[in-house]
Amino acid sequence: MRERGSTRSPSDLPSRSTGPSVPSRLEDRGGRFGHGEAAGYDFSVPIGATAAEVRSVVHEYGIAHMEGFLGGERLDRLAAECRSILDEPPTWSHPEGYGLGAAVRLVRTQVDRASFPTLLDVFESPFLEEVVALHYGPGYVFAEQIYVILDIVGTQTIVQQLHYDKVQHLKLFVYLSDVGPGNGPFHCVPRSHTISAQLQADNRANGIIATDGEARVLPPEVAGRQVAVLGGAGTLILFDSDIVHRASVPTDGDRLAVRSLNFGPHSLGSRL
């Protein structure tokens, strides 16, 4: 992993804890793999990196990956809260149609703070807000929506086609289970966020939101540069939704994840 040198003590990171609480099969296999280094991209950021360092990696690659962002009891509590939301969606939540798996959308300001304290604590982290603020500047919208998502073996959805998102935003994504090649890892094309931004520049300047079909029309060479983004439970992935990306089908085991959507002052459309 590339060292960027931290100017921030790990103890300053509000979401940091002591590492995964469950044995990580990825670690047991003796190494870190699959999050871009093998393909010549290094978008890893170490625990202890500053918000500015994280933001600069997102700016350069369209994605940053921080393994071990959550661990221990904090990770366990977050996973339990997310499973509870999927098992019994609260009245103020918004269950989504999601193939064989399950997805529930939450509007952060509607979340019951007493029942889901860890979820809010993680996604209201000052560290994450600083990354969003640096990414968008004044007028950013922090953690407006949160999605809890369970992909199970065989889950198929439209987002498994390579695409970029129609309304540009910054996603903060936490794996709550170990994600190896058979657990439906997120796939993306590092540095492709600039391609999508160029493709949509005229539309966005004119207040036009692309269609699903348009957001799947990509230069032919892009598909060959995909990487699978793997990580143990507790891995944080931050990505600009302009990056060309897709979900993948779990073949060996389920994947539980939670993510927030963060917008810039010029993001288009009605989002709630």
Q: Which residues bind Fe ion (CB under 5 A)?
A: 165
For Fe ion, the closer CB: 116 or 147: 147
With H, G, I as helix, E, B as strand and everything else as coil, classify residue 91.
coil
C-alpha torsion angle, residues 213, 215, 220, 224 (rounded to 10): -120
For Fe ion, the closer CB: 165 or 240: 165
Fill in the amino acid letter for 135: H
With H, G, I as helix, E, B as strand and everything else as coil, classify residue 243.
coil
CB 260, min distance to Fe ion, A: 14
For Fe ion, the closer CB: 75 or 148: 148
> Which letter does DSSP use for residue 58 in this model?
H
CB 126, min distance to Fe ion, A: 27
For Fe ion, the closer CB: 55 or 169: 169
CB 239, min distance to Fe ion, A: 9
Q: Which of 243, 217, 215, 213 is nearest to 229 (CA)?
A: 243
CB 263, min distance to Fe ion, A: 14
200 vs 188: CA distance, rounded Å: 18
H helices of 62-200, where?
A: 72-87, 117-123, 126-136, 193-199
Length of the chain: 272
Contact between residue 66 and residue 236 where contact means Cβ atoms under 8 Å apart: yes
For Fe ion, the closer CB: 83 or 216: 216
CB 111, min distance to Fe ion, A: 22
H helices of 114-200, where?
A: 117-123, 126-136, 193-199
Q: Which of 262, 272, 267 is nearest to 128 (CA)?
A: 262
The structure tokens listed for 267 are 């993001």
CB 165, min distance to Fe ion, A: 5
Contact between residue 48 and residue 79 where contact means Cβ atoms under 8 Å apart: no
For Fe ion, the closer CB: 165 or 242: 165
For Fe ion, the closer CB: 127 or 263: 263
Region of 269 on the Ramachandran plot (φ > 0 left; ψ -120 to 50 alpha; else beta)? left
Cα 227 to its chain centre, rounded Å, is 15
CB 159, min distance to Fe ion, A: 5
